[in-house]
Structure 1
Amino acid sequence: MRLLVGLVWLLSWLPFRVISGLGWLLGSLIYLLPTSRRHIGTVNLRLCLPDMPESERQGLLRAHFVAMVQMLLEYGYGWFASRERLKRLMRIEGLDHLKALDGRNVILMMPHFTGLDLAGLRISLETPVVSIYSVQKDPWLDAFFRAKRLRFGTGIIFARQQGTRPTLRALRDGYRLYYLPDQDFGHRDSVFVPFFGVPAATIAGLSRMAAVGNATVLPCYPRREADGYTLVIEAPLDNFPSADVVADATRMNAVIERQARRQLHQYFWLHKRFKSRPPGDPDFYAP
């Protein structure tokens, strides 16, 4: 693992366009392998984009593998780049939406797009950020990841196992919550609402945390471009949350779907988004 970190450090010295080229080469090769992740991506795209010809879906999946590998090769920027370089690599569009909420509690709703880690570190240079992370099984790796996420001293993080209380306390203390709400965490605390027209187990945490924390929700996403990224911060969701968590989850998924359709190859398609099913529904991912 230390050798891998050393390799990532070396890659961090390469220009963005070189990383893009390496990612294109490696991602195109990895796409050709008959892996379980390729199967998951094929199923997800078939479910979400049924009207797209199969050849186009496979082309999209190949582009997604490229984007995912590019993201992995870019980890060195987040771990080792200076503040100044990070600001050049990740521009921000719509920062005025965040600045207009100075003194207010804010949740930055970030779906799973490539570039989300860089975006989280970048926004922490503009405002104190709190986020939730998954503990790594390897203690050394877990400590390393924590240190790199906190290296600028502009945020705090809590393990998912700690529950939401510390996060809500930080939100009330002025930290902006960088929140990723769009993966399948099972039936607990989830509701089934459409995502690309398919019922998906969706955690209702966004509306509940917004209600308890008296917070405004700003949807955002990173857009990968030829010379870096742009972190797009959209206008706040009006009349959110409502008194209906199902309606709120439906609205959240609609926002994420709209963002994903703008850059389909950059959304995370290799996660089993539809793993949890309503009673009686088949397993989409069975071989």
Structure 2
Amino acid sequence: MQDSRIPPFSLALLHPRYALNWLGLGLLWLLVTLLPWRMQMALGRGLGRLSMRILGSRVKIARRNLELALPELSEQEREQTLKANFESVGCAVFETGMAWFWPHWRMRAITRMEGTEHVDAALAKGQGMLLLSAHFLTLELNARQFGLYRPGVGVYRPNTNAVLEYAQVQGRCRSNKYLVNRLNIKGMLKALRQGDALWYAPDHDYGRHASVFVPFFAVEEAATITGTATLARVKNTVTLPCFTLREKDGYRLLIQPPIDNFPVGNDHTDAITSNKVIEDAIRLAPEQYMWLHRRFKTTPEGVPYRY
């Protein structure tokens, strides 16, 4: 569980078994380099609509998540959101390439930053910054864009494919310092103690371990990890919600004020607070959230499996 900094290139990565990986990465680089942004988004929406015909099981999961989370929507409204969500999935393919391959000047050209004064205030006080984020489909852009203002540290899951691991570490470190394995809690604590900005997205369902059941959208008992409050308790650390939203002419990097009265030291209360912050952000653009994963798969004793 070592920290991942920009790795040196190895000839082992040129093994024939990685040929398709390099071909895919090369094609993605070519498309995001040559095509204008609006064309990439148009192609992405088309790719997303096509994926709905191929990824049947993921469509079912996303539809079920929307039923559970947003019962106030009519069936027609949920289907419209579902379609827009998969269009966003297709756009995310291109956005990953943009985050990994675009030079700084091109990334800045489509990025509008809002709330950088909160980063400035934390820096002036020498505080570590816990960037509370979520699994939006724009997540690859989020850390890249924040790093344009102030390089930080990302929390990630290493890829078992050597070429994809090389590409994602290279890409995610284009404007940031290094990555920390999501299991390396000591590495996260160290980054905050050193005054770094640590990007952290706790909104997936990671099972019962170190989790509590608290509300998330309309689901009253959603398994939610307690790690957010654990990290926020690091001395001289401030928690800043941080999200990237896709807009008509680019992206808005939204850095919100520090969360008031957080953490309080009660796992349930703190998990409710962090979930509410994330929920409010998702409601700004629900079609851009990663509804494809089983967010509500873990249930309390006596509650039936939701999928």
8 A contact 1:131–1:167 mirrored in 2: no
Structure 1 residues 278 and 228, CA gap change in structure 2 (3 angstroms) = same
Quick check: 27-36 or 196-205, which moved more? 27-36
Q: Tell me the equivalent position of 2:59.
A: 38
Answer yes or no: is 1:135 the counterpart of 2:158. Answer: yes
Structure 1 counterpart of 2:30, one-letter code: L
Q: What are the superposed Cα offsets for residues 2-21 of structure 1, whole Å, 9 maximum, x if unpaired? A: 11001111111211100111
Secondary structure (helix, strand or coil) at the match of 2:265 reads coil
8 A contact 2:71–2:218 mirrored in 1: no
8 A contact 1:277–1:283 mirrored in 2: yes
Q: What are the superposed Cα offsets for residues 212-253 of structure 1, whole Å, 9 maximum, x if unpaired? A: 344111112111012211111111111111021110100111
Answer yes or no: is 1:269 the counterpart of 2:255. Answer: no
Answer yes or no: is 1:192 the counterpart of 2:213. Answer: yes
Which of 112, 117, 125 in structure 2 is aligned with 1:96? 117
How much has 1:132 moved relative to structure 2?
Answer: 1.3
Structure 2 counterpart of 1:4, one-letter code: G
Answer yes or no: is 1:3 the counterpart of 2:23. Answer: yes
Q: Distance in 2 between matches of 1:104 and 1:212?
A: 10
Task: Kindly tell me the number of residue pairs found equivalent between the two proteins.
Answer: 283
How much has 1:34 moved relative to structure 2?
Answer: 6.0
Structure 2 counterpart of 1:151, one-letter code: R
8 A contact 2:111–2:145 mirrored in 1: yes
Q: What are the superposed Cα offsets for residues 179-234 of structure 1, whole Å, 9 maximum, x if unpaired? A: 11110111000000000121111011111111034411111211101221111111
Answer yes or no: is 1:60 the counterpart of 2:81. Answer: yes
Answer yes or no: is 1:27 the counterpart of 2:48. Answer: yes
How much has 1:33 moved relative to structure 2?
Answer: 4.2
Q: Structure 1 stretches (4+) deviating beyond 6 angstroms?
A: none
Q: Distance in 2 between matches of 1:190 and 1:218?
A: 21
Structure 2 counterpart of 1:10, one-letter code: L
How well do the aligned residues superpose, as a CA RMSD in angstroms?
1.3
Q: Distance in 1 between matches of 2:196 and 2:51?
A: 39
8 A contact 2:215–2:222 mirrored in 1: yes
Secondary structure (helix, strand or coil) at the match of 2:260 reads coil
Which of 112, 115, 121 in structure 1 is aligned with 2:138? 115
How much has 1:75 moved relative to structure 2?
Answer: 1.8
8 A contact 1:8–1:75 mirrored in 2: no
Q: Distance in 2 between matches of 1:3 and 1:144?
A: 13
Q: Tell me the equivalent position of 1:87.
A: 108
Which of 20, 45, 49 in structure 1 is aligned with 2:70? 49
Q: TM-score normalised to the size of structure 2?
A: 0.89
Q: Distance in 1 between matches of 2:139 and 2:182?
A: 18
Answer yes or no: is 1:241 the counterpart of 2:267. Answer: no
Which of 157, 171, 193 in structure 2 is aligned with 1:148? 171
8 A contact 1:168–1:213 mirrored in 2: no
How much has 1:160 moved relative to structure 2?
Answer: 2.2
Q: TM-score normalised to the size of structure 1?
A: 0.95
8 A contact 2:193–2:234 mirrored in 1: no
8 A contact 1:128–1:174 mirrored in 2: no
Gaps of 5+ in 2: 1-20
How much has 1:278 moved relative to structure 2?
Answer: 0.5
8 A contact 1:191–1:246 mirrored in 2: yes
Structure 2 counterpart of 1:12, one-letter code: V
Structure 2 counterpart of 1:93, one-letter code: E
How much has 1:78 moved relative to structure 2?
Answer: 1.2
How much has 1:131 moved relative to structure 2?
Answer: 1.6
Secondary structure (helix, strand or coil) at the match of 1:101 reads helix
